[in-house]
């Protein structure tokens, strides 16, 4: 994984949210040397499309609520977050954790340690993304099993089939129509709900 992350650094899209000063200039220059495509902005926008891979942001208590609101509005996978910190006091560290940063960079910003923190953050982000994909796949599979079991119960009750016969019926229909068993199960469930519907008087 480490070699994969390192090979992906060149061309990585990075957004730096930091006041326009020498610190920001240093950070942008260091990231450009690494090979990243860097944009910088300030202040923190009220909303933004996640068209970047990595976000460096100032861990500021003044911006806390705004940043948390912004981060919760992202759809899909969030970017890799790295916090820029002035002080390592408990309240700042709590803010870094609340924002979901995967690494932090101390100020004043220096080249040493920046690449290491960026690689670690990207590796953690990649691991989380892979874990999230596996969890989503398992949840989808479990939902399909639940649907098939519910459809089997409907067939057992409505047609007097055994559990094995109900399963074979669903599987045969799926093979005949060249769709998944889950899709056939959902069709049976929906049809049953439609037939069982009684309008309120």
Is the preceding omega at residue 162 within 30 degrees of 0, hence cis?
Answer: no
Low-confidence ranges of the chain (pLDDT < 70): 1-4, 6, 75-76, 197-201
- Alpha-carbon distance of 170 to 183, in angstroms, equals 10
Tokens 């609340």 locate to 98
Pick the closest to residue 9 from 54, 51, 50 (CA basis): 54
pLDDT score of 68? 80
Quick: pLDDT tens for 66-111: 888 777 777 667 889 999 998 777 888 888 888 888 999 988 888 8
pLDDT score of 62? 79
Percent of residues, the chain, with pLDDT higher than 90: 49
Tokens 């480490």 locate to 2
pLDDT score of 172? 94
Task: Return the number of other C-beta atoms located less than 10 Å from residue 199's C-beta.
Answer: 4
The SS3 of residue 54 is strand
Task: Return the number of other C-beta atoms located less than 10 Å from residue 113's C-beta.
Answer: 12
Tokens 């930091």 locate to 18
Give all strands (DSSP E) within 27-159, no chain letters. 37-41, 54-58, 80-85, 103-106
pLDDT score of 201? 61
pLDDT score of 30? 93
- Please state the pTM of the whole predicted model: 0.72
């Amino acid at each position: 994984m480490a070699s994969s992350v390192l090979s992906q650094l060149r061309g990585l899209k990075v957004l730096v949210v930091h006041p326009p000063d020498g610190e920001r200039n240093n950070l942008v220059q260091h990231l450009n040397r690494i090979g990243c495509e860097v944009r910088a902005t300030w202040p923190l926008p009220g909303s933004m499309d996640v068209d970047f891979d990595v976000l460096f942001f100032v861990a500021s208590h003044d911006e806390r609520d705004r940043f948390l609101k912004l981060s919760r509005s992202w759809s899909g996978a969030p970017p890799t977050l790295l916090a820029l910190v002035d002080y390592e006091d408990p309240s700042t560290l709590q803010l870094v954790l609340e924002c979901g940063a995967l690494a932090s960079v101390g100020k004043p910003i220096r080249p040493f340690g920046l690449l290491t923190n960026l690689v670690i953050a990207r590796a953690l982000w990649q691991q989380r993304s892979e874990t999230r994909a596996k969890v989503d796949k398992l949840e989808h599979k479990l939902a399909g099993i639940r649907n098939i079991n519910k459809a089997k119960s409907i067939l057992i009750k409505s047609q007097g089939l055994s559990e094995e016969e109900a399963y074979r019926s669903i599987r045969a229909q799926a093979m005949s129509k060249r769709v998944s068993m889950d899709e056939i199960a959902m069709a049976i469930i929906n049809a049953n709900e439609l037939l069982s519907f009684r309008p309120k008087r």
